Amino acid sequence: MPPRPAELEAGRSLGEHGILFVGSKGSILGEGWSRSPRIIPETKMRAYHKPPKSLPRVEGHHRDWLNACKGKGSASTHFEYSGPLSEFVLMGNVAIRSGKKLEFDWKNMKVTNEADANKFVKPNYREGRTI
């Protein structure tokens, strides 16, 4: 468990499966799977004004995918969006496994400052094996 944030009210817990985002202007606490994110303390949450909705809403990720398969628009998390996002998140795993701060060339898919970390980016295949 992370240390208890100073701004978290007495009697309120971090939750068993919660997520805590700590920023320079405050913190956000969410339940498991990022449900119900709330600015802490609650007084800051009540003072927050949500911006107007600007992105189309979906009926759930399964329905969104099925609708795209049926030609009813494109999926909201298509590969042009989700591919780079997945690469970005997985790069965090490479940094953790290498134990170092890494610089990455996204175009060439290579770590530029720690050559040894590249073994976590693309595996070495046995002779005669390829992708």
Residues contacting residue 74 through CB under 8 Å, at least 6 positions apart? 68
Residue 131 has what pLDDT?
A: 67
Please name the residues in contact with 32: beta carbons below 8 A apart, sequence gap of 6 or more: 15, 16, 17, 18, 19
pLDDT of amino acid 117: 93
Count the Cβ atoms, other than its own, within 10 Å of residue 57.
7
Mean pLDDT per 10-residue section of the chain, whose length is 131 residues: 86 84 90 85 94 88 92 86 88 93 93 93 83 67
User: Tens digit of pLDDT for each residue in 114-126?
Assistant: 999 999 998 778 8
pTM (2 d.p.): 0.51
